Amino acid sequence: MIHRPRRLRRTDAIRSLVRETRLAPENFVLPLFVCPGTGVRREISSMPGVYNLSIDETTKEVAAAYDLGVRSIILFGLPESKDPLASGAYAEDGIVQQAIRAIRQSSPEMVVMADTCLCEYTSHGHCGVVRGAEVINDESLKLLARTALSQAAAGADIVAPSAMMDGQVGAIRELLDAEGFENTAIMAYAVKYASGFYGPFREAAQSAPEFGDRRAYQMDPPNAREAMREAELDYSEGADILMVKPAVVYLDILRMVRDRFDVPLAAYHVSGEYAMIKAAGQKGWIDEERVMLETLTSIKRAGADIILTYYAREAIRVLKS
């Protein structure tokens, strides 16, 4: 036999020599959920190892993550109170804005991203302004742009619009530029499906919609060509980074976006994807560490440069060992 692929699988060292895909600590973005109070560290029951953290606890968590090798975080906020227009999302002293300022002080080297959405801040839990049973697109744009501006003003390096309102990237870019924040980057949740895998997140962020669901603005899971149109729109509106979300059941979409667009590509390994591995691991049904690494590697192999994952710390710990 001339070709024997097994020759290059004989030892650990040889396998490592010919390995095509490698995870690195710099690829990961750690999501954090900031809540009011002091000394609060409340575990999310459907996401073991993930917490609601008050600002003082958040800064400690960020410093510890940085020491471990995490170089980027993304912040979500649980406001003191909610209202129909999500005023907590764009308040100058909003929970995320305060957290950004605190982290800027305590961990100046950390790349700070802010999720730009309204659902955690609206009383009805939808990602935009609601009239009747409808989420009104263009009115929501103004609030999303204000939210991004307040996050940039607080010191966010990157804002990450996730509301799936048409034109949100353009509206944010325009306001940021007009206000002197032309260097704040936009990571667009460009291809975001209406997914059952967000379940645990809605417990963590207390953002489940009060009525209906998000299918009238997030994407229909069976559609792939439509994902290319979404990516094209966000790219042309000025997105610096494109994202596909969820990650694992949309690896085909990740690959398609990678092949068509030459901006950095992010994938969000979402709450339900994390929870499934955790739960099966805790039951002893799978080897959690192995499945975690295999999963994150598949996301990178499919084309992601950046991986948002609740496993960031655990993955880095294993990579370093």
Does residue 299 bind ligand PBG (CB under 6 A)? Answer: no
CB of 208 to ligand PBG, least distance (A): 8
Asked whether 240 and 263 are in contact (CB, 8 A), the reply is: yes
Binders in 164-193 for ligand PBG, by CB under 6 A: none
Strands 241-245 and 158-161: unpaired
> Using CB under 6 A, which of the segments 50-58, 87-95, 198-206, 299-307 binds ligand PBG?
198-206
CB count in 10 Å sphere of residue 143: 23
Got the DSSP string for 281-312?
A: HHTTSS-HHHHHHHHHHHHHHTT-SEEEETTH
Does residue 151 bind ligand PBG (CB under 6 A)? Answer: no
Size of the site for ligand PBG (CB under 6 A): 11
| CA quadruple 169, 175, 179, 180: dihedral sign | positive
Q: Which residue has the tokens 């489940």?
A: 208
Tell me whether residue 245 is one of the annotated catalytic residues: yes
Cis peptide bond N-terminal to 221, omega within 30? no
CB count in 10 Å sphere of residue 137: 17
Structure tokens at 187: 């990571």
For residues 21 and 123, which CB has a smaller minimum distance to ligand PBG in the complex?
123
> Using CB under 6 A, which of the segments 21-29, 114-122, 176-184, 233-241 binds ligand PBG?
114-122
Tell me whether residue 192 is one of the annotated catalytic residues: yes
Does residue 162 bind ligand PBG (CB under 6 A)? Answer: yes
Number of residue whose CB is nearest ligand PBG? 201
Structure tokens at 315: 């993955």
Does residue 201 bind ligand PBG (CB under 6 A)? Answer: yes
Report the run of H or E that residue 192 belongs to, with start and end: strand 185-192
CB of 311 to ligand PBG, least distance (A): 11
CB of 55 to ligand PBG, least distance (A): 20
Give me the helix-helix angle, 55-68 and 95-106, nearest 10°: 40
Distance CA 308, CA 244 (A): 10
Task: Using CB under 6 A, pick the residue from 270, 275, 296, 315 that binds ligand PBG.
Answer: 270
Task: Using CB under 6 A, pick the residue from 33, 51, 198, 311 that binds ligand PBG.
Answer: 198
Task: Using CB under 6 A, pick the residue from 78, 89, 127, 175 that binds ligand PBG.
Answer: 127
- In Å, how far from its chain's centre is CA 115? 7
Q: Which residue has the tokens 């990961």?
A: 28
Give me the 56-95 binding string for ligand PBG, x by CB under 6 A, dash otherwise: ----------------------------------------
Does residue 237 bind ligand PBG (CB under 6 A)? Answer: no
Catalytic residue, chosen from 192, 278, 283, 320, is: 192
Catalytic residue, chosen from 60, 82, 142, 245, is: 245
Q: Which residue has the tokens 């990579």?
A: 319
Secondary structure of residue 256 in the 3-state scheme:
helix
Does residue 114 bind ligand PBG (CB under 6 A)? Answer: no
Asked whether 189 and 268 are in contact (CB, 8 A), the reply is: yes
> Using CB under 6 A, which of the segments 20-28, 81-89, 100-108, 112-120 binds ligand PBG?
112-120
Does residue 115 bind ligand PBG (CB under 6 A)? Answer: yes
For residues 179 and 213, which CB has a smaller minimum distance to ligand PBG in the complex?
213
| CA quadruple 299, 158, 207, 53: dihedral sign | positive
Positions marked catalytic: 192, 245
Residues near ligand PBG (CB under 6 A) are 115, 117, 119, 127, 162, 198, 201-202, 214, 270-271
